[in-house]
Structure 1
Amino acid sequence: MLTNLTAQQVNAKEANKCCQCAYNSGYQQGSLLQKFISLDLDSLGESGANNDGHYKSLHQAFALGYSDGVNSIIKN
């Protein structure tokens, strides 16, 4: 699912950050139905991904994860 995200990084600080980590952070916050969400770039690991998540939008990955997390609660 991360392969469909936009290949974009806003700045050099984000270039090597883990897109899957951003998704996981969003998913966790969404599954807890947190009202105040935050993408902490400094807490994300370094990317080890090749084509599936490298240089993909961390913000899109986070938003997708949040949405999936919320949906997992709603479906259950």
Structure 2
Amino acid sequence: MPCANHHIRTLNENELSNLTRHQMHDHGRHKCCQCAYNQGYEQGFQLRETVTLDINALGDSQSDADGRHKSVHQAFALGYSHGIRDFINQ
């Protein structure tokens, strides 16, 4: 079952495959890495100094295209980094 949320930005297959496998209960299991990436990107682009990954706001997903069994924390951090990069380069 893929995530039902709309993703403004998406990680491609290569970027998803580079994320670490992660299956911790209650810490992002079966949550969407694309949603986590977008949360991080938004906060990075806004240059937020205090960032928060809201796991409960992430879509549920068991789709490989959404980073099944991958770390939502790492996807969030990657999004944050890309957001800062894009803010600087605009």
TM-score, normalisation: structure 2: 0.76
Count of paired positions = 76
Q: Which amino acid is the alignment partner of residue 23 of structure 1?
A: Y
Q: Quick one: percent identity of the two aligned structures? A: 50
Q: Deviations over 1:13-46 (max 9, x none)?
A: 5211001100000001000111110001001111
Aligned pair 1:50/2:68, yes or no? no
The residue aligned with 2:9 is none
Moved over 4 A (4+): none
> Which blocks of at least 5 consecutive residues in structure 2 are unaligned?
1-14
- Aligned-pair RMSD on alpha carbons? 1.6
The residue aligned with 2:40 is 26
Higher helix residue share: 1
Cα 1:13–1:71 shift into 2, 3 Å:
closer
> Which blocks of at least 5 consecutive residues in structure 1 are unaligned?
none
